C-alpha cells in the first residue's frame, strides 16, 4: 500500500506519529505555503527559522533513504495553501492513503477534518506531548476552573519526574518562591551559544527579505539552530552553562543581556527538533548528578511539564469559543510603539528591541513588561494576542493564545489563572535595571515624570473594581484602594487618561 505522509513545518522529528511506520514506496510530503507564512505577518526570523529547519529536515530524510516531495515557496506551481498542495500531491503520486499527525492549531485541524479528497486520510495523535487531549479533558471534567499546579502534580506522578517514590523530590512540589531573586550587579551572564547561518539558511534569509519585506523584525543577525544536531548542542549548552543559575534568576531582567540564564529551547521544542521527554529527563539528570540545584531543575521542568502541557490541554478543550472571551471588556487599541519600540518607557523599549532583533523574550519580559502594560491599559485581547503570535519565534496559537488570553490579559475570567498579573513600576524596578536612565521615575506617583505603570495600575483596579474586588487574591490591593480618598482616585484616573492620550491610543472603555 503506497502512502503519502504529510509533515507540517512544526513537526520536524523522525519520531512523529505520521512517520512511525514509513515504508519503501511511501512519499513524505513537505510544503512551504504562503498562506501559513502570512496569515499573520510573522517575524522575519520566525520564517527563516521554520523554512530553513524544514529544508534541513527534508535533506536529512533524503540522506536516510526516504522519498521526499518538497515544495518550496517559490516553486512556480505552488498553490500557496495546504489544501492545494495536498491535492496536487495526490494527483502526482496517486497514493492509496494519506497519513498526517494532528495539527497543533485549531484552525489547521479544522482544515484537516474538512478536507474532501479523493483519498482516505488518517489523522494520528501527536505523541510528542506527555498529556493527550483526552487525558487533559478527563482531568478537567467537573472543575469550575483549571489550575496548572494541580495538573502539574498529576503529571509528576504519572511520569515520575523529580519524584522520590510517592513524594516530590525535596519534599515540595514547587520551588517558585526561591526563584525570584534579583540579579547581583557583579554577576556575569554566560556567553550564549549562537549559530552562524549555513548556505541553506543564507538562501532562506534572502528569500524572506525578498518575499516578506514588510514583516516585523530583522532577519539578521540570525543565530538559531535549524537542525536536530544544533538543537541538541543548544540543550547541552543550557544544561552546562545556564541551568545551575536559571532558578535563582529566571525572573530577572538586565539591560544589554538578551537571554541571561534562560533555556532558549522553546523554539526547538515547538518545531520538533527537541522532544519534551528528552529535555526534562536531561534536566533531571543534572539534579541527580549534583550539577544543578533542585529549585533550578524543578522550575525548568515545570515550564515544560507544567505550563506547556497545561496550556495545550486547555487550548484544545476550550477552543474555539475560548478566543472570543473578554472578561474584563477591554477595548482599547494596542499602542503603535509595540511595533516601533519608540517610547520613553525604557522597559518596553528594551523588550521590544530584543524582540525585534532576536524574535525572542523570556517569560517575565513577556508577562510583566509587554503583557502587564497591555493589561493595565485595557488593550483589546485580540490585538495583543495577534502581536504575540506575530513577533515570537516560538509562538504557535496553541501555546500563545492561552498564555496571553488567560495569563496575560485575564480575558477568560480566571479559567487559567487565579488572578490578573498586574503590577506597578515598583515590580519592574525590583526585578530589573530597566528603570535606570528611564525618562520616568518609578518612585514618583504623580506628575509628568511619574512612572505610568503606577497610575495605570491603580486605574486598572478602579476600572475593574466590580469584576475583581471579590477575588481573594486581590484583597490586599483593593484594601489599599479602599483607603484612598475620592480626590486621589480621581487624580489617578486623570493621570491614566492623560497618558493614554499622550501615546495616542483609543480611549474607549
- Tens digit of each residue's pLDDT (9 = 90 or more) over 376-393: 999 999 999 999 999 999
Residue for grid cell 472570543: 324
pLDDT band for position 507 (cuts 50, 70, 90): low
**Per-residue confidence at 345, pLDDT binned at 50, 70, 90?**
very high
pTM for this structure? Answer: 0.96
Calculate what percentage of the chain has a pLDDT beyond 90: 93
Reading across the β-sheet that carries 97-101, which strands appear in turn? 67-71, 27-31, 3-6, 97-101, 121-124
Judged against a pLDDT cut of 70, whether residue 509 lies above it is answered with no
Residue (of 196, 159, 156) closest to 174 by Cα position: 156
Higher pLDDT, 113 or 506: 113
pLDDT, average across residues 248-254: 95
Distance CA(500)–CA(368), nearest Å, equals: 19
Query: Residue 460 above 50 pLDDT?
Result: yes
pLDDT at 506: 58
Residue 179 is predicted with a pLDDT of: 85
Give the pLDDT band of residue 177 (cuts 50, 70, 90). Answer: confident
Band the pLDDT of 437: cuts 50, 70, 90: confident
Q: What is the mean pLDDT of residues 225-252?
A: 97
Give me the mean pLDDT over the 110-119 stretch.
Answer: 91
What's the confidence (pLDDT) of residue 468?
96
Is a pLDDT exceeding 90 seen at residue 413?
A: yes
Q: Which residues contact 194 (CB under 8 A, 6 or more apart)?
A: 221, 223, 224
Mean pLDDT of 256-271: 96
- Cell 544589554 sits at which residue? 256
128 has pLDDT over 50? yes
User: What mean pLDDT comes out for the span 27-51?
Assistant: 96
Element (DSSP H or E) covering residue 427: helix 425-431
Mean pLDDT, range 28-44, rounded to an integer: 96
CA–CA separation, 361 vs 259, rounded Å?
8
Position 426 confidence tier, pLDDT thresholds 50, 70, 90:
very high
- Domains of the chain, each with CATH number or no CATH: 3-124 (3.40.50.620), 133-192+242-318 (1.25.40.80), 337-502 (1.10.579.10)
- What is the band of 358 on the pLDDT scale with cuts at 50, 70, 90? very high
In the predicted model, what is the mean pLDDT of the chain?
Answer: 95
Residue 33 and residue 82 in contact, taking contact as beta carbons nearer than 8 Å: yes
Residue 59 clears pLDDT 50, i.e. is over it: yes
Look at residue 231 in the predicted model and tell me its pLDDT. 98
With 90 as the cut, is the pLDDT of residue 367 above it?
A: yes
The answer to whether residue 1 scores a pLDDT higher than 70 is no
Mean pLDDT of 440-462: 94
pLDDT of amino acid 144: 84
Grid cell 519520531 — which residue? 15
d(CA 419, CA 64): 50
Q: Residues of the chain with pLDDT > 70: what percent?
A: 99
Cis bond before residue 104 (omega within 30° of 0):
no
Amino acid at each position: 500500500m503506497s502512502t503519502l505522509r504529510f509533515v507540517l513545518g512544526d513537526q520536524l522529528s523522525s519520531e512523529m506519529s505520521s512517520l512511525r511506520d514509513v515504508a519503501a514506496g511511501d512519499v513524505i510530503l513537505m510544503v512551504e505555503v504562503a498562506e501559513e507564512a502570512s496569515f499573520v505577518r510573522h517575524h522575519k526570523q520566525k520564517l527563516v527559522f521554520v523554512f530553513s529547519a524544514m529544508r534541513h529536515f527534508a535533506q536529512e530524510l533524503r540522506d536516510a533513504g526516504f522519498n521526499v516531495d518538497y515544495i518550496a515557496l517559490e516553486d512556480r506551481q505552488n498553490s500557496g495553501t495546504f489544501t492545494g498542495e495536498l491535492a496536487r500531491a495526490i494527483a502526482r503520486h496517486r497514493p492509496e492513503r494519506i497519513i498526517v499527525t494532528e495539527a497543533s492549531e485549531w484552525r489547521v485541524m479544522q482544515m484537516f477534518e474538512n478536507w474532501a479528497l479523493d483519498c482516505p486520510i488518517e489523522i494520528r495523535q501527536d505523541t510528542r506531548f506527555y498529556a493527550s487531549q483526552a487525558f487533559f479533558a478527563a482531568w478537567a471534567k467537573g472543575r469550575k476552573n483549571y489550575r496548572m499546579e494541580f495538573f502539574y502534580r498529576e503529571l509528576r506522578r504519572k511520569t515520575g519526574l523529580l519524584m522520590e517514590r510517592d513524594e516530590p523530590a525535596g519534599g515540595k512540589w514547587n520551588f517558585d518562591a526561591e526563584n525570584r531573586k534579583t540579579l547581583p550587579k557583579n554577576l556575569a551572564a554566560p556567553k550564549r551559544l549562537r549559530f552562524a547561518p549555513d548556505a541553506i539558511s543564507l538562501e532562506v534569509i534572502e528569500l524572506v527579505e525578498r518575499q516578506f519585506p514588510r514583516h516585523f523584525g530583522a532577519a539578521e543577525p540570525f543565530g538559531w539552530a535549524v537542525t536536530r544536531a544544533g538543537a541538541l548542542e543548544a540543550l547541552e549548552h543550557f544544561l552546562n552553562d545556564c541551568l545551575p543559575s536559571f532558578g535563582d534568576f529566571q525572573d530577572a531582567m538586565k539591560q544589554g543581556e538578551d537571554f541571561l540564564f534562560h533555556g532558549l529551547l522553546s523554539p526547538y521544542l515547538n518545531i520538533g527538533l527537541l522532544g519534551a521527554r528528552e529535555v526534562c529527563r536531561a534536566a533531571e539528570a543534572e539534579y541527580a548528578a549534583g550539577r544543578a540545584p533542585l529549585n533550578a531543575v524543578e522550575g525548568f521542568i515545570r515550564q515544560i511539564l507544567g505550563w506547556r502541557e497545561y496550556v495545550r490541554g486547555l487550548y484544545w478543550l476550550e477552543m474555539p469559543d475560548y478566543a472570543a472571551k473578554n472578561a474584563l471588556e477591554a477595548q482599547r487599541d494596542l499602542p503603535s510603539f509595540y511595533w516601533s519600540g519608540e517610547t520613553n518607557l525604557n522597559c518596553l523599549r528594551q523588550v521590544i528591541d530584543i524582540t525585534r532583533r532576536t524574535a525572542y523574550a523570556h517569560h517575565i519580559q513577556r508577562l510583566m513588561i509587554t503583557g502587564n502594560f497591555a493589561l493595565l491599559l485595557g488593550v483589546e485581547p485580540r490585538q495583543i494576542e495577534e502581536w504575540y503570535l506575530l513577533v515570537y519565534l516560538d509562538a504557535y496559537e496553541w501555546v500563545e493564545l492561552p498564555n496571553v488570553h488567560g495569563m496575560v490579559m485575564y480575558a477568560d475570567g480566571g479559567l487559567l489563572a487565579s488572578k490578573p498579573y498586574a503590577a506597578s513600576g515598583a515590580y519592574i524596578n525590583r526585578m530589573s535595571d530597566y528603570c535606570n536612565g528611564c525618562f520616568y521615575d518609578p518612585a514618583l506617583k504623580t506628575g509628568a515624570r511619574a512612572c505610568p505603570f503606577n497610575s495605570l495600575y491603580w486605574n486598572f483596579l478602579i476600572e475593574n473594581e466590580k469584576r475583581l474586588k471579590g477575588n481573594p487574591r486581590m484583597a490586599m490591593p483593593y484594601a489599599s484602594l479602599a483607603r484612598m480618598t475620592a480626590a486621589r482616585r480621581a487624580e489617578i484616573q486623570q493621570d491614566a487618561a492623560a497618558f493614554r492620550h499622550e501615546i495616542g491610543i483609543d480611549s474607549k472603555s
